[in-house]
Structure 1
Amino acid sequence: MRDRPAGPRLRIAWVEEWMSTLAAEILPGLADRHDVTYVTAGEELPAAPFVRVVRGRRRRHMNLAGFGLSRQVNRLYDDGLIDLAMVWASIGFGLRRVPFINLEGTSVYAEIELFASLVPWYRRVHFLPGLVHYAFPEMACNRRSARVIVPSGALKRDIVRLHRLPEERVAVVPHGAEPEHLACYAQREPGPRPGILFVGRLHFRKGILPVLREFVRRREIDADFYIVGDGPDRAAVQEAAAGDGRVKVQGTIGRETLKSILRATQVFVLPTYYEGFGLALLEAMASGHACVCYDIPGVREVLGDCGVLVPLGNAAALVDAVADLVRDGPRVAALSARAHERAGRFSWDDARSAIERIVRETFVGLESGARSRPRPAPQSQAGESGPEFRRT
């Protein structure tokens, strides 16, 4: 029987556009100890005992989804059904009156700042739509939130700097390695030749296309290259890989297929330009890969000295490092063992405990500050249409 923490049973709304890995890991335990309402526009639900599920409409644009979900959470609060909200990835930028904790996995604002610095000033106008659709909601959500939770110190520094928040308002809670990925290390099934793996969105921000083109140019590298994921660069990736039998473009695959590929490959590449944490990197480390990545703060924080870092944006240097590893089995084995051991230190149990502690501390602080401010009376009247509730 699990220990039940001291303190009141809180009424919490967890808000996200679609189910995140964080929700799948955190909510089963949180909903066992608190009354959690899950508010989403997605179809998937975490395996948690929610008191209700509130469905929002799927929207093409994040902004429209955010306004819709925020409106439903505002109503829950006004009707006295929740004490506070927990918002994933700034989707609650339209919340009013509702006290909330914002959980960020990355900073699109920081990404836009980075990419804008890499182009001439007259081309920076192309980043304006990204500022409107993503960066401004991120700014609004972080500045209005009672607390912010991020998975890395690197992301905390960006959030504090960009949104001018006091450092004590932003808490670092690293994500965890899943046991099934850690178990892959002892179940490795190497193929007839070395395997290289990339897992991520096929998008210019992830940097995979220049690396793939450089790999295809280097015909002497005797290894298979598995590319897992989908995105707007899918057609360009397939075009670059055409005619090269070493490259295996997998698209979107299921968990079991991914675990099979994790067991069969030895080298993982992450040529991303920006990461708030790098969950795919942690999964590769847990399953025992020698990892080759661009040297950026978020990656450096997760990987430590258990892999190979090359200068940001240098695809040729990254492929050189991969080629060296493919020819050096003992070094791959040593890096894999160190990465696996380091990944085991990242615990979802620790993350669950830390997040619940922050939730309770935040609630106590909000209650102390609101004693002289009465809660608004319920505004919904009989006969009004409310959000779609489904008890689970």
Structure 2
Amino acid sequence: MPELVVIAEQLLAEVPGGTGRYTAQLLRALADTAPPGWTVSGVVARHADVEAARIDGVAGPRVLPLPPRALVAAWEAGVPLWPGGDAVHAPTPLAPPRAPRGRSLTVTVHDTVPWSHPETLTPRGASWHRRMVARAARRADGLIVPTEAVARDLARRVAVRVPTRVAAHGVTDLGPAAPVPGLPDRYVLAVGTVEPRKGIDVLVESLSLLSRREDTPAEIAGTADVPLVLVGQPGWGGTDPSRLAAEHGLPAGRVRVLGRLADAELTSVLRQASVVAVPSRAEGFGLPVLEAMSAGVPVVHTDDPALVEVSAGAAIVVPRGDARALADGLRRVLTDPALAKRLATDGLRRAADFTWTSAAEAVWTSHVT
């Protein structure tokens, strides 16, 4: 019986982030859409506990003999350690150097940030991603990218010699909502790893600009005390939202950091938000945009090409790095109920175009003809 093996190592990362959610959702969809006779398995490095990599409907995870750092080093060095199966999909650039004869390998490339914005990654991380993606573009049997924007930019930066398929992420079913105590009646929400690339510094500054001297009394009343709620784990780079808030003169409690939430809690926080802000400097897709639209919440995001492609006119778009423009966009949503309702309606319509089934089918097409 032929087997597709998916590298599930990101599910065991200290900060799984958006690629962790992508890996879990894609694994489920691959199992649900498997062609007749095929099975789907997960594979991970050697860990003391691999429970977080277990997915319903997916066999395994199979455990390789190397611990995480050794596996990364081995594949980076070109060691031909094949993780098993007739076909392998790598949801991140962590992948074997190539497939043995008669087998196939596909790799998802989420973005071109290591080339376009290397300063938003660690030097080691940017260098590793550039090397691994460039190798996959030469030696894999196919690449999967989440947007046309990534496909175009990758082709400009890397010699891509293998077929590239665009497979957008899907809408994640977060399940029923679970109460999150203490949420304010109105708030701006941001979801994502707290690190430099996500533009949290610009977002906190924009919060301090929401009420200006030239604003009308109605505008001030609509925005003066609206807090910012952040959902996501701290990443690298030392971004400290509380410190940033203090630097911009915001009172204690105006910026609230919830950390990582379970899906049921995230559902609740999303649905109750007044607006979702996505101030990223660079993205390959932008799951928070899609998740907000699917929850019927208006979105304000930057003009990163991938985000613009995903929202397709169903959000307010502002220039990257421009705190004043971001504040103006948030103010418009917070003070104009008709605009907020229209954005929510347009977002729901746009979100209906995205499914994990479509993403999985693109991966299967790369392996099964």
Is the contact made by 1:143 and 1:163 (CA closer than 8 Å) also made in structure 2? no
- For 2:243 and 2:293, how far apart are their aligned partners in 1? 29
Comparing 191-200 with 301-310, greater Cα deviation is found at 191-200
Match for residue 16 of structure 2? none
Classify the secondary structure of the residue corresponding to 1:231.
coil
- For 2:362 and 2:188, how far apart are their aligned partners in 1? 35
- For 1:234 and 1:340, how far apart are their aligned partners in 2? 35
Match 1:104 to one of 59, 84, 109: 109
Comparing 13-22 with 52-61, greater Cα deviation is found at 52-61
Alpha-carbon deviations, 1:312-337, whole Å to 9, x = none? 22122111211222111221111111
Classify the secondary structure of the residue corresponding to 1:289.
coil
Change in Cα spacing, 1:262 to 1:58, as seen in structure 2 (3 Å) is farther
Is the contact made by 1:37 and 1:53 (CA closer than 8 Å) also made in structure 2? yes
Match 1:200 to one of 181, 189, 192: 192
Classify the secondary structure of the residue corresponding to 1:73.
coil
Alpha-carbon deviations, 1:333-365, whole Å to 9, x = none? 11111111110111222223333233203xxxx
What does residue range 163-202 of structure 1 map to in structure 2 within 5 Å? 163-166=158-161, 169-180=163-174, 193-202=185-194
Residue 111 of structure 1 and its aligned partner are, at CA, apart by 3.5
Asked if 1:162 is matched to 2:157, the reply is yes
Change in Cα spacing, 1:132 to 1:52, as seen in structure 2 (3 Å) is closer
What does residue range 233-244 of structure 1 map to in structure 2 within 5 Å? 236-242=240-246, 243-244=251-252
Is the contact made by 1:271 and 1:294 (CA closer than 8 Å) also made in structure 2? yes
Match for residue 30 of structure 2? 30
Match for residue 260 of structure 1? 268
Identical-residue share of aligned pairs (%) = 25
Asked if 1:46 is matched to 2:51, the reply is no
How many residue pairs are counted as aligned between the two chains? 332
Match for residue 209 of structure 1? 201
Is the contact made by 2:300 and 2:316 (CA closer than 8 Å) also made in structure 1? yes
Alpha-carbon deviations, 1:26-69, whole Å to 9, x = none? 33453464233321137322222416612465546984375599
- For 1:146 and 1:61, how far apart are their aligned partners in 2? 25
TM-score normalised by length of structure 1 = 0.75
Match 1:289 to one of 269, 272, 297: 297
Match for residue 3 of structure 2? 11
| Structure 1 moving runs of 4+ over 6 Å | none
Question: Over aligned residues, Cα RMSD in angstroms?
Answer: 3.2
What does residue range 25-104 of structure 1 map to in structure 2 within 5 Å? 25-28=25-28, 30-31=30-31, 33=34, 34-41=38-45, 43=50, 44=52, 45-50=54-59, 53-55=62-64, 57-59=66-68, 63-64=72-73, 66-67=75-76, 72-73=81-82, 76=84, 82-95=85-98, 97=100, 99-104=104-109
Is the contact made by 1:277 and 1:302 (CA closer than 8 Å) also made in structure 2? yes
Q: Which structure: larger Rg?
A: 1
- For 1:95 and 1:359, how far apart are their aligned partners in 2? 14
- For 1:276 and 1:197, how far apart are their aligned partners in 2? 20
TM-score normalised by length of structure 2 = 0.79
Change in Cα spacing, 1:231 to 1:128, as seen in structure 2 (3 Å) is closer
Change in Cα spacing, 1:345 to 1:285, as seen in structure 2 (3 Å) is same
The amino acid of 1:105's aligned partner reads H
